[in-house]
Amino acid sequence: MKIVYLGDIVARTGREAVLANVRFIKDTYKFDVLIANVDNAAHGFGCTPKICNMLLNAGVNALVTGDHVWNQKEILPFLDENKRIVRPINYAQNLPGCGAREIPLDNGQKLLLIEAVGRVFMEDVVSPLVAVDDVLQKYSLTKNINAIFIDIHAEATAEKQAMARYFDGKVSAIIGSHTHVPTNDATILPKGSAYQTDAGMCGDYNSVIGFEENAPIDRLKDKNSSSRLEPASGKATICGTFIEIDDKTGLAVNIEPIKITL
């Protein structure tokens, strides 16, 4: 199985770049499944059903979110209605949506897609290890699922690394998101899971994590600044990760960062 994961899509610039290049990405990587993070797709904060459907109709197979999943209220019913989007599994279970879904592929295989948020410098949530572990009790690679992909949406690199080490060999890949800066540590861990601390973002890198620089600088100079964050609108770069999975084991045999400068 070949998986392409696209890091956080930031606002219009990131959306339009991804929508215009799905075919190019398909031709280049021959993927079986294309996953995209839409946590910042709607003007930098959350996503809407309209944006989700645009991406899904363009050829994206599945969507992951993050801590901004609740920002756009119209997304709430969509999280239950559409089975190709996941929200963080370690939020309260009575909230809309699901944190783990089986994604059927055109080749007859199935991918288990799991999303979790971190706890360090973020909200007080259930441990991502506990929440994901509970789901994985029902699955075994090559027995009842072909591949398992975890998106860990977190601030702290150490937390992402700890999660990856814990699930190494139990899942196909653990890829980080949320910090919008691609890390140079794509690797296959000792027990066979692919890992990268952060896949980066799809957006304007001539910015501060996808936003115009003035407001973040004002906030850094004056913690009481009320400057409004506005998405950067320059040319986008598409960043993500390409992973190849051994169909016999469900574990990774290759991982490569993706960077497409437009």
Catalytic residues: 68
> What is the rounded CA–CA span in Å between residue 25 and residue 39?
21
Strands 237-245 and 201-203 turn out to be antiparallel
The residue with tokens 């004056």 is 222
User: Which residue in this structure is represented by tokens 């990587």?
Assistant: 29
Q: What are phi and psi of 253, to 5 degrees?
A: -120, -10
Taking the C-alpha atoms of 176, 182, 184 and 188 in order, what is their torsion angle to the nearest 10 degrees? 30
Strands (E), the chain: 2-6, 8-9, 33-37, 62-64, 85-86, 100-104, 110-117, 147-153, 173-177, 187-188, 194-196, 201-203, 237-245, 252-261
Pair 97, 107: CB distance under 8 Å:
no
- Return the bridge partners of 156, or none: none
Q: Note whether 105 and 32 are within 8 A (CB).
A: yes
